Amino acid sequence: MTQLLHEINESLDVISRHTSARPDVAIILGTGLGGLAEAMDVSTAIDYAEIPHFPVSTVESHSGRLLLGSLADRSVVVMQGRFHLYEGYTPQQITFPVRVLHALGARTLVVSNACGGLHPLYRRSDIMVIDDHINLLGDNPLIGPNEPSLGPRFPDMSEPYSRRLQQLALDAAISLGFQLHRGVYVAVAGPNLETRAEYRFLRTIGADVVGMSTVPENIVARHMGMDVLGLSIITDECHPDNLAPVRLEDVLEAAAIAEPRLTKIIQAVLPSL
Ligand code: HPA
């Protein structure tokens, strides 16, 4: 057995000691978006530190726990806190949890994130469903030997975010009376925010929002054939000709304002996932 499969099994063993749940939906909560956990009926919480081979989150705004339980009557596993390239981990390390959630039985991945809005009509605390992405991380979690039992060497990326799931989210937003944008997420390594020239460049190449996560997780999920729903919270407006400095407090505040809407959208789509 390869090292990767061995490590996945070791993580799975420890999770299985805590719970016999095998949820088929996994949710990753982004910066300042931990609140969904409060709407959840949590039956098991496991610190990442207890799970072998899981990195440990180094970002204050991210707690590091795996939650299992139910949300909208659906069995789910939730990552409360995620990992980023800028923390110094490799793309393989930051996506290892997605491999484990798949091994646990998850076939749908819901990812959320905080991001900067490049589209001139996007406002702070708006939500965008991700239709497509651009990988500007300069790295890729699939580089290295491929494990064929997990997925193909050259995974297709013609539909990185399920159109069916996007439509469910858009329909849910309409019924709930919220506006939901649909657009393109570009991933950069960070951790610094972008310069004005970089924002101009990112807009020119076709991105609607910019962030520092999500893309590696999506690539690994698609490698394994999982369906992905991506939801981005716009936490700051990146308009190069009128750019205000961004503080982490403002990002967290904008995420907190949007969080109840994000939770409602996820709850509304869960029964159909
Ligand atoms: N750029 C990159 N990542 C971000 C931003 C941004 O403006 N806002 C929140 N995450």
> Tell me: the pLDDT tens digits for 246-256?
888 999 999 99
- Is the preceding omega at residue 191 within 30 degrees of 0, hence cis? yes
Q: Domain spans of the chain?
A: 3-272
Q: Could you tell me which CATH number the domain at 3-272 has?
A: 3.40.50.1580
Say whether pLDDT at 200 is over 90. Answer: yes
The predicted pLDDT at position 242 comes to 86
Q: How far is the CA of 117 from the centre of ligand 1 (A)?
A: 8
Work out the pLDDT band at 126, boundaries 50, 70, 90: very high
Q: In the predicted model, what is the mean pLDDT of the chain? A: 94
Give the total residue count for the chain.
273
User: Which residues have any ligand 1 atom within 6 Å of their CB?
Assistant: 114-116, 193-194, 210-212, 235-236, 238, 251
Q: Percent of the chain, pLDDT > 70? A: 97
pLDDT in tens, 218-256: 999 999 999 999 999 999 999 999 888 888 899 999 999
The residue whose CB lies within 8 Å of the most ligand 1 atoms, and thus the one to mutate among 195, 235, 249, 252, is 235
Say whether pLDDT at 1 is over 90. Answer: no
Q: How far is the CA of 236 from the centre of ligand 1 (A)?
A: 7
Say whether pLDDT at 61 is over 90. Answer: no
Q: What is the mean predicted confidence (pLDDT) over 15-33?
A: 92
Distances (CA, A) of 104 to 58, 98, 237: 25, 10, 38
Q: What is the mean predicted confidence (pLDDT) over 253-263?
A: 93
Ligand 1, atom 9: closest residue by C-alpha: 115
Work out the pLDDT band at 186, boundaries 50, 70, 90: very high
Instruction: Specify the range with the lowest mean pLDDT, choosing from 23-27, 63-67, 130-134, 187-191.
Output: 63-67
Ligand 1, atom 5: closest residue by C-alpha: 116
Say whether pLDDT at 199 is over 70. Answer: yes
Highest-scoring range by mean pLDDT, 131-135, 249-253, 269-273: 131-135
Q: pTM for the full model?
A: 0.95
Work out the pLDDT band at 145, boundaries 50, 70, 90: very high
Burial of 149 (0-12, 13-18, 19+ CB in 10 A): exposed
pLDDT in tens, 67-125: 999 999 999 999 998 899 999 999 999 999 999 999 999 999 999 999 999 999 999 99
Ligand 1, atom 2: closest residue by C-alpha: 211
The predicted pLDDT at position 58 comes to 66
Q: How far is the CA of 16 from the centre of ligand 1 (A)?
A: 36
Which atom of ligand 1 lies at the shortest distance from residue 117's CA? 7
